[in-house]
Amino acid sequence: MPRPLMFSRKYLEELLNGSKLATVRAGNVKYRPGDIVLVHCGGLVLGRAKIARVERKKLIDLSEEDARKDGFSSLQELLKALRQHYPNLKRDTPLTILEFQWVERFEEPLSDGEYSWCYSEGPLEVAKLALEKLNDLSFEERAVLEAFVKAGSVRGAARKLGSLSNRALVRGVLKRVAERLASLGLIGVRDRELQSK
């Protein structure tokens, strides 16, 4: 499955109209030319893209051309946006510039859930059903599911569990219990065609 390339919701219009074909990320980001990625923005999957070019630079070496490819009208505008995303940037901070080309833009962007969730019940219903029907849940699984039910979202549950970095844990538990519920015939599995796009 392609790796995700995540964007803030504020870049949705630029991604949809094609004016944003690059992104600058802090650090040494592990993408290579030719990698196929799923472009996510603000909870939507917009389509698939191919990484065309990867370049490493320091903040001080960014150019007007880098800003233009990233969808900004000037280098100053790009620097301002980068400082909002990464408040601790310094002149010598290493950056990775990723240029990408669209392979397939979905006619209608899909929600993250529509793209990756293949079960007849939504994640919230699955969490509630798992808490009710699965007697063999581990302490961790039960804690994660209870946090998810209370928060109503992966992000909210991760926060309740102490850190946004717990989002992968929450998603993993949801998928595992959904698989168990499906194997018991308690929920259905939808057509996986969306996932093979």
Residue 156's CB is within 10 A of a number of other CB atoms, namely 14
pLDDT digits (tens, 9 = 90+) for 163-194: 888 888 998 899 899 999 999 999 988 754 44
- Domain holding 185, by residue range, is 117-196
The answer to whether residues 136 and 188 belong to one domain is yes
pLDDT digits (tens, 9 = 90+) for 99-154: 999 998 887 777 666 666 778 887 889 999 999 999 999 999 999 999 999 998 88
The answer to whether residues 144 and 184 belong to one domain is yes
Q: Which amino acid is at 58?
A: K
Distance CA 74, CA 92 (A): 20
Q: Whose CA is closest to 2, among 42, 43, 32?
A: 32
Mean pLDDT of the 13-17 span: 92
Domain endpoint, select from 111, 140, 162: 111
Q: Which amino acid is at 95?
A: L
The answer to whether residues 11 and 107 belong to one domain is yes
The answer to whether residues 102 and 122 belong to one domain is no
The answer to whether residues 22 and 105 belong to one domain is yes
pLDDT digits (tens, 9 = 90+) for 87-97: 999 999 999 99
The answer to whether residues 104 and 169 belong to one domain is no
